[in-house]
Structure 1
Amino acid sequence: MFVSNYAILFDLDGTLTDPKPGITRCIQFALSELGYRPPDADKLHWCIGPPIQDSFSLLLKTSDDTVLEQAISLYRSRFATIGLFENSLYPKISETLDAIRFAGYKTFVATSKPHIYATQIIEHFGLSSLFNGVYGSELDGTRSVKADLINHILVTENLSPSHVVMVGDHSHDMIGAKHNHVTAIGVTYGYGTEEELKSYGADLIAHTPDDIPKLLVHSYELRLSHSH
């Protein structure tokens, strides 16, 4: 199996790392500073993965850019120094990435999180050598929509959609993959349910990180059968 021209895109939050403490504490901090009583961390799970502006818009029930920019600014003031390291790798992630790289695949991070933070997190966990590149949004929100980000990676890296797999835990990852005609693997150990992932187009489901390499072989065989 010749896979050197195949690329695997990994979401970050809820797929490679569990960022719950950092993200929820930074949201609580921002809401408190704005004079709101923040929800408990367990009531903020749905904020892990989507663009942060969307989460604040729902939390504050507003689309007022001035208010949202203030909330994001407060969130980032804590996240940039403390929050991004209140984070842990899911078990077996390093070994999973090793196996995928050993098989000859290219690997990229594809996250709605600003790439300036994503790069620091990947370095912090010693994963930099296991990725060909780290892609995220800009601080102004450009490419925070997963479909735009995946398209940007395909163009920048000159990748054929039929040779790319997106791995993520959220409906946004599945929608972005389908929008770009990319195979989607949904992971259930993060913050999305199997039902949500399948309803938004997941082709395959991984229940643990070490399911992913096996599913890549399966997705390759699926593609071959579709092309004949």
Structure 2
Amino acid sequence: MAGGHVKAIMFDFDLTLADSSNGIVECTRYALRAMGITEAERERIHSVIGLTLQGMFQTLTGNGETERADEFARLFVERADEVMVSSTQIYREVPDLFEQLRGQGINVAIVSSKFRYRIESILDAARLRPLVDLIVGGEDVQRRKPHPDALVLALTHLRVPAASAMYVGDHPVDAEAARAAGVSFVGVLTGTMSAEHWSARGERCVKAHVGELAQLVRGSERAGVSVADGHRP
């Protein structure tokens, strides 16, 4: 990242900016029940948050049939339209983080496999929509993470080069997408990945919570250190 200057920070949504786990567990179990499939344990569902809905189904069931995965996705969305917004809680550090980043002149974007309209509704409910410059959702690209397409689309809209951008996420697919897009990556600890897990993958991560990002960026730029090459825990 030339000169260590960050122009845009892009965030995953589920388990990165918000705890949507209760809604996702409810929608997953609803879809599986409707399909006559034994319900998955909460821990197993939690471990696949961040994958596409079809990917969640295939991982949870071991069933690779495209039609069944699409049926699961349809049923999941059907239930999500009823419960997801009300059951999602934005992490308490997020509003101040967004304010700080925008105060530093940094673009704030959300890039997620979650539907854009759903993210917009959750942000509207939390009165955070004005603090987000761009949202790229699952309906905006054909290939989802770990493919880089959504990140590349966001960079194009923001008119920011990959070398001046960062992606923040909770799941290994987020790190893989960032690498494929040529942007730096920082992991959070609100998913299933611990600091040790991120370190073992050679990835940077926050020490405690996502709110640390503003200070991390300021510290890197004051030191003239590229965020992409900074210290890894």
Do both share a fold (TM > 0.5)? yes
Secondary structure in structure 1 of the residue aligned to 2:186: strand
Q: Which amino acid in 2 is paired with 1:188? A: L
User: What is the rounded CA distance, in whole Å, between the counterparts of 1:224 and 1:66 in structure 2?
Assistant: 42
User: What is the rounded CA distance, in whole Å, between the counterparts of 1:75 and 1:225 in structure 2?
Assistant: 37
Answer yes or no: is the 8 Å Cα contact 2:20–2:88 preserved in 1.
Answer: yes
The corresponding residue for 2:226 is: 223
The alpha-carbon deviation at position 204 of structure 1 amounts to: 4.1
Alpha-carbon spacing, 1:170–1:176, altered in 2? closer, same or farther (3 Å): same
Alpha-carbon spacing, 1:219–1:200, altered in 2? closer, same or farther (3 Å): farther
Answering whether residue 142 of structure 2 is matched by residue 142 of structure 1, we say yes
Answering whether residue 119 of structure 2 is matched by residue 118 of structure 1, we say yes
The corresponding residue for 2:173 is: 172
Secondary structure in structure 2 of the residue aligned to 1:112: coil
Answer yes or no: is the 8 Å Cα contact 1:109–1:133 preserved in 2.
Answer: yes
The alpha-carbon deviation at position 117 of structure 1 amounts to: 1.4
Alpha-carbon spacing, 1:198–1:136, altered in 2? closer, same or farther (3 Å): farther
The alpha-carbon deviation at position 36 of structure 1 amounts to: 1.6
The corresponding residue for 1:163 is: 164
The corresponding residue for 1:98 is: 99
Structure 2: 5+ residue runs without aligned partners?
none
Structure 1: 5+ residue runs without aligned partners?
none
User: What is the rounded CA distance, in whole Å, between the counterparts of 1:138 and 1:199 in structure 2?
Assistant: 32
Secondary structure in structure 1 of the residue aligned to 2:82: coil
CA RMSD of aligned residues (A): 2.3
TM (norm. structure 2) is: 0.87
The corresponding residue for 1:70 is: 71
User: What is the rounded CA distance, in whole Å, between the counterparts of 2:199 and 2:150 in structure 1?
Assistant: 21
Answer yes or no: is the 8 Å Cα contact 1:22–1:87 preserved in 2.
Answer: yes
Q: Which amino acid in 1 is paired with 2:29? A: Q
Q: How many residues align?
A: 224
User: What is the rounded CA distance, in whole Å, between the counterparts of 1:65 and 1:214 in structure 2?
Assistant: 44
The alpha-carbon deviation at position 15 of structure 1 amounts to: 0.9
User: What is the rounded CA distance, in whole Å, between the counterparts of 1:189 and 1:225 in structure 2?
Assistant: 21
Greater relative contact order: 1 or 2 (C-alpha under 8 angstroms, separation 6 or more)? 2
Alpha-carbon spacing, 1:78–1:28, altered in 2? closer, same or farther (3 Å): same
| Runs of 4+ off more than 4 Å | 2-5
Alpha-carbon spacing, 1:3–1:132, altered in 2? closer, same or farther (3 Å): farther
Secondary structure in structure 2 of the residue aligned to 1:151: helix
The alpha-carbon deviation at position 30 of structure 1 amounts to: 0.5
The corresponding residue for 1:21 is: 22
Identity, in percent, stands at 22
The corresponding residue for 2:208 is: 207
